[in-house]
Chain A
């Protein structure tokens, strides 16, 4: 079995913890408990007949005061930038995180973007051009909902594929 470390990154309250919880345990809660430090979960998926175990590092989100601790990113094989589709600013913040990782001199690390909370259609703020602008950070985007489980399987699987290819 292949094991890979994956980091969940993004601004605070975009739904990193909820996504992991839904993906691993199939549970969703409306309650918001901010993550302190890091929480680690795992999920084994099957990819072309082979098992891949993803160690999901759910890292405390960024806010105005605290940046992501880069030591937690050490050795990651891939990462997911989570954007809250109902808060447009979180998209820029996700791009910034990408740029900072890009500067870290760890080579190109496979990554995808989750545009989360797609179930909240009325409050959705992202437009086509916003999503197109993700080309800048060389990332495929997936519309996801930690609440309805929409897009999660596809997104995580996609990242896993990229990571396995990278070796």
Chain B
């Protein structure tokens, strides 16, 4: 019995007895509730296990945030302290990474803030000084106190008056006027010329004061007219304004220029002088001819204090820039000279604590940068130059290097044509061989051509062969004794053979000398054959002394191959002799 009781689940309702009905009931319960119970267990686990809960919340968080922002800022407020704290910790721990994130935003923002603050300051300074002491000024002061605005703001509010009198739409590249609009009664000078001059002035300013393409003149003051210049990628919009326009006008101009760019993109980029296609910009431009009336039309004059302030600022700037330009110009020229020098490449020019820091590459064969610096009159201690060696691939440097390596003798000329080194002129074979071997080692030379070079040794070799073949060594009648005076001939022969051998070696050739013995036609052919062979042998022994490496063959031809057809005694004398045949054989290359 107790065994079957184990089948009843432990969590059976209390009081579940042994009775069969109750057992039946429990089983029934189990059948009906089983699945739900498992689910309940799972739910319990989900609620109890923090890991599971975190995973679930994470997947719902974005949605939850979205819901919350829609329904007011409570979540934001709640999060603020934590986020602030997190930022604080992040800043304390690693300032750099945060700075890197913010930097791209900060730079322009700071610049903008500063420049507009300065402009506003001057604007408000001007007005404040002017109106400071008048009765109306007093009224405005009260208004300022009442409204909580700054006095300057109140003054500006009451007096701001300006008129955009003319607009010039200028093609940036050519300086040509694309379109010009002007307010009704304005006296207009030749707008084409104004457009050109505005461009030239921009060029001038950019050239003289700034090196960056993007830096442009933005404002110009001509009498009581102000010119605002909006710079775009293809076109420039210049507004001539009388009076003092608010900063908002600037963004208005920017927008106008932007819409001109987007509406006339293709016309702008393919401008070839036909400006009539820009007539359609007129309505857009005319919208910028804005006029704002001031409360009083009394002609305003600049106050003395303001002029003084501006003068002080200006003269300081002029003095400072004059100083800098004088010294800077010399330095710029020097850098330009160095850069222009071939074999010198400047990679960076910076300034550090008053010292010019120059880095670059220099071919060892280039001019000495120190000398150039000295010539430019720049004190040596103001410059710190570091040059990494490199090999310039400028043609003149490749040639310089080739000359250094090949050492061409007089009469040999080097030239470079698209990395092919050409050699012309004439010289000895030895140099030619050496040059062929090492020319390709010159940095920048891709192939070598000496087809234009004449080998001075080649004709000498041909000569030497011919000279030997012209020798005839004569013998006494019926003997292997030399005829009178033949010792000199033998000596000459030895000399020439020696030379032939060394010349041939130079050209990689070996020499094969065949020594041919002859007799005259007197006597029997058998005797003659032997005599002729002996004569040849005698000469071959003679030539052994020239050098051990000499290869010779000898033969006797008796009277069968006479040196000269025999008719006279003289012919016979010539036929008692030894002659030579020379052959040059290509030596197989050592490889």
Contacts and interface: CB of A to CB of B under 8 A. Distances in A.
A55 B175 contact: yes
A124 B174 CA distance: 36
A74 B272 CA distance: 14
Contact of A40 (B171, B197, B204): B197
Nearest to B176: A3
A69 interface: yes
Contacts of A167: 272
B192 A77 contact: no
B35 interface: no
A38 B206 CA distance: 14
Contact of B203 (A2, A41, A53, A71): A71
Interface in A12-44: 37-38, 40-42
Contacts of B171: 75
Interface residues on A, range: 20 to 34
Interface in A51-76: 52-53, 55, 57, 69, 71-72, 74-76
B206 A2 contact: no
B263 to A, nearest CB: 21
Contacts of A40: 175, 193, 196-197, 200
B174 A75 contact: yes
A37 B176 contact: no
Interface residues on B, range: 20 to 34
Contact of A5 (B175, B193, B203, B274): B175
A53 B174 contact: no
A22 to B, nearest CB: 18
B173 interface: yes
A20 to B, nearest CB: 12
B585 to A, nearest CB: 56
Contacts of A37: 200, 204
Contacts of B173: 74-75
A41 B175 contact: no
Contacts of B274: 1-3
A42 B273 contact: no
* Residue from B196, B204, B207, B275 whose CB has the most chain A CB atoms within 10 Å: B196
A4 interface: yes
Contacts of B221: none
Contacts of A38: 200, 203-204
Task: List the 8 closest pairs (A to B, CB-CB), nearest first.
Answer: A75-B174, A75-B173, A40-B196, A2-B273, A71-B203, A5-B174, A38-B200, A3-B176
Interface of A: 1-5, 37-38, 40-42, 52-53, 55, 57, 69, 71-72, 74-77, 163, 167
19 contacts: A1-B275, A2-B274, A3-B177, A3-B274, A4-B273, A5-B196, A38-B200, A40-B200, A42-B190, A55-B175, A57-B196, A69-B207, A72-B200, A74-B174, A75-B171, A75-B175, A76-B174, A77-B174, A167-B272
